[in-house]
Structure 1
Amino acid sequence: MKVVITGGGTGGHLSVARAFLEEFYKQGFECLFIGSINGQDKAYFESDSRLSKKFFLQTSGVVNQKGFKKLQSLWQQAKALQNAIGILRKEKQIDFVLSVGGYSAAPTAFGAVLLGIPLFIHEQNAQIGKLNRILKPYAKIFFSSYLHSSPSRYYPISQVFFTQARVRKNIKNLLFMGGSQGARAINNFALALAEDIKQKGLRIYHQCGKAEFTRVLQEYLNLNLKIGILKENIEFLEDIESQKIQIGILEDLDNVDVVLFGFSMQMPEIFKKCDFAICRAGASSLWELCANGLPALFVPYPYAAGNHQYYNAKFLEEKGLGFLCLEQDLFCEVLWDSLALLKEDKITQISQDLQKECSVQALKQMSNCIVAKLKSRNL
């Protein structure tokens, strides 16, 4: 089969795209990717040898734009639609298009509908995004972990998050994570707690984002803490020199107070090191934490479209499998109160139950659903 995977812009959408690519490639499908030159699409897929072809179009987000910027984004999307249709026509015998959403997906997904190519959609969030609401009636299957109508309600997660999973029994290492772009509120929260965390004999693993790396590093150094920097982030150090900085691979940084990184391709291994996370509630991160058995305090990004991060986190909180705190209510006591509730038997139970919310067979199930649908409809 020949499949076009489209979507991205943010790490959450792209993680799902990569997970589907992993499964489709394993099944012998020829895979193409159509994304955007903006966002992180190129970082994820430009060098991926599993893709026979990659296309990156000029697109940007529309939903949160206003005035001239909104008109500019819509114009870009219209031009990209023309380009996407041209690509789909040129690439003959495409069996289906798989959209994972995000502004990168719009041109190719609409192009598939206009050309009569079967469209399958995966919606990551509890609140359906505007693009997917428009396209849902045209999708042959609409996958969602939150809708009872979905033929598979497990989230598509890369295999490595399962292989690195473990059941937590106590808390020694804390992960502060604002996503691939970082989150200033979570960064400041970690800095405010850093000295207390050290006094309690705990270690910090902190994904601060590339833009905030220098500031956060300097703040930690001002606190007289010993910092470990992942070797893959050495380019962010610039002219900063300090005897309190240790540079190395993940396994070499077990003797520092803080392991700091702007972005890392070793997130499954970092998850395995940690016992509790303080993070945003983007869907992919949330479900990857579940697969890994890592309990979390979720701090939803307050400006996410449709407030979808709040509803993602609420889904787990209502099951007793996570903690939820609005950014405006994020004070130091929130962390200590959450950890106080996680006695050994409680954290073990939550860690085990989180893993039950995921399935290592999810991607295979979804792929089988797609193939069966294509055969049954003789599309």
Structure 2
Amino acid sequence: MKLCITGGGTGGHLMIAEALVAEAVSRGHEAIFIGSTKGQDRKYFEFNSQFSHVYFLQTTGVVNQKGLGKLKALWKVFLAFLKARALLKKHKVQAVYSVGGFSAAPASFASLSRFTPLFIHEQNAVTGRLNALLKPYAKSFISAYEDDSKIKGYPIKEIFYKSAHKRQNLKTIIFLGGSHGAKAINDLALSVALELDSRGIAIIHQAGEADYERVRDEYEKLGLRIELYGFTKELPELITKADLAVSRAGASTLWELTANGCPAFYIPYPYAAGDHQYHNAKFIVDNEMGWCEREGEQLKSKFLDILESDLEQKSTKLLSYSSKDVAEKMIKDVEESIK
């Protein structure tokens, strides 16, 4: 089978693409990637990927543009659509898998124009505008949040499943400020650090490169030595060591924590498109698998309340909900659909 995987912009989308190409190649298929010159697409796949060919077309987001900017963005999408259509023909692509994001638009519309089956994975609880537009025309629409999704889940690296375990006692907390540094999470960590130390609870903190020096200096003023990082590729190992996480609610991190059985206190990024991070976290809260609080004055008191909660109950529910082999199921679905 010859497959095209398209989409990206952010790590949440691209990690799904990464999982899908690995599974497709392991099953003897060939896959190409069509993304954008904008966003993180090149960072992920320009070098050392499992794709046979990678293409980065000149597109930008349309939704966040206004007036003339929106028209220019649409024109770029149209020109990229023509290029994507030619690429699908050149590589004799039999199916297109969209992982969402603005860079998915050209190849997704090209697939429909060529009557090539289109498959979609939606990473967030709030369906993106492009995915909502394309959903009626897709062979399969996969979501971890929708009851009618034929496959429920989010493709996660195997390491999170292999190291998954039930949390029972609170010995270590990890604060995930992200690669850039979420100030609300970093400030919360600093405000409770002495309290955690007095309780004998260890702190792991990824503060983000942009906020690393400030956070480091503040810990030094408190007289605390903690496991502090700006950016690290060792997050799977660090999450495994933790009994509780404090994090934004981007889809990839949320499902990594879920797969590993690590309960989390989610503080959604308030400016996420469609407020999707809040709705991602709300899904976890509604299923009694974690906690969520918006940025504000209640963060510290809510966090301290969580320290007295039953971690084992939440961890057990996370482990029972998490679905393995999602990427394998998604590729098998494509195989069966195009026979």
Q: Shared topology, TM-score over 0.5?
A: yes
Which among 256, 259, 266 is matched to residue 228 of structure 2? 259
- The CA RMSD over aligned residues, in Å, is 2.0
Tell me the residue number matched to 2:17: 17
Tell me the residue number matched to 2:58: 58
Tell me the residue number matched to 1:247: none
Q: Which sections of structure 1, spanning at least 5 residues, go unmatched?
A: 227-256
Which among 246, 250, 263 is matched to residue 278 of structure 1? 246
* 2:210 alignment partner, SS class: coil
Residue 102 of structure 1 deviates from its aligned partner by 0.9
Residue 139 of structure 1 deviates from its aligned partner by 0.8
Q: Which letter maps to 1:355?
A: L
Tell me the residue number matched to 1:163: 162
Residue 69 of structure 1 deviates from its aligned partner by 4.5
* 2:97 alignment partner, SS class: strand
Q: Which letter maps to 1:205?
A: I
TM-score, normalised by the number of residues in structure 2: 0.93
Q: Which letter maps to 2:303?
A: L
Tell me the residue number matched to 1:269: 237
CA distance in 2, matches of 1:179, 1:303: 15
**Could you tell me whether the CA contact under 8 Å between 1:101 and 1:122 is conserved in 2?**
yes
After TM superposition, the structure 1 = structure 2 runs for residues 165-314 of structure 1, keeping only pairs within 5 Å, are: 165-226=164-225, 257-262=226-231, 264-314=232-282
Aligned CA distance change for structure 1 residues 297 and 61 (closer, same or farther; 3 Å): same
* 1:360 alignment partner, SS class: coil
Aligned CA distance change for structure 1 residues 176 and 137 (closer, same or farther; 3 Å): same
Tell me the residue number matched to 2:151: 152
CA distance in 2, matches of 1:180, 1:269: 16
Tell me the residue number matched to 1:42: 42
Q: Which letter maps to 2:252?
A: S
After TM superposition, the structure 1 = structure 2 runs for residues 84-99 of structure 1, keeping only pairs within 5 Å, are: 84-91=84-91, 93-99=92-98
* 1:328 alignment partner, SS class: coil
**Could you tell me whether the CA contact under 8 Å between 1:217 and 1:260 is conserved in 2?**
no
TM-score, normalised by the number of residues in structure 1: 0.83
* CA shift digits 1:73-132 (9 cap, x unpaired): 3343333323322322322x2111111101121121112112222110001111111000
CA distance in 2, matches of 1:80, 1:291: 36
CA distance in 2, matches of 1:112, 1:101: 14
Residue 304 of structure 1 deviates from its aligned partner by 1.5
**Could you tell me whether the CA contact under 8 Å between 1:225 and 1:258 is conserved in 2?**
no
Q: Does 1:324 align with 2:288?
A: no
**Could you tell me whether the CA contact under 8 Å between 2:207 and 2:228 is conserved in 1?**
no
Q: Which sections of structure 2, spanning at least 5 residues, go unmatched?
A: none
CA distance in 1, matches of 2:207, 2:71: 32
* CA shift digits 1:189-213 (9 cap, x unpaired): 2222233333332222222333333
Which among 348, 352, 356 is matched to residue 316 of structure 2? 352
* 1:212 alignment partner, SS class: helix
Aligned CA distance change for structure 1 residues 62 and 323 (closer, same or farther; 3 Å): same
CA distance in 2, matches of 1:73, 1:205: 42
CA distance in 2, matches of 1:109, 1:142: 13
Aligned CA distance change for structure 1 residues 64 and 217 (closer, same or farther; 3 Å): farther
* CA shift digits 1:165-196 (9 cap, x unpaired): 11112112211124444322222222222333
Tell me the residue number matched to 1:367: 331
* 1:294 alignment partner, SS class: coil
CA distance in 2, matches of 1:10, 1:329: 30
* CA shift digits 1:265-310 (9 cap, x unpaired): 3222121011111111112211111110000011111222221111
Aligned CA distance change for structure 1 residues 155 and 209 (closer, same or farther; 3 Å): same
Percent identity reads 46
CA distance in 2, matches of 1:34, 1:129: 19
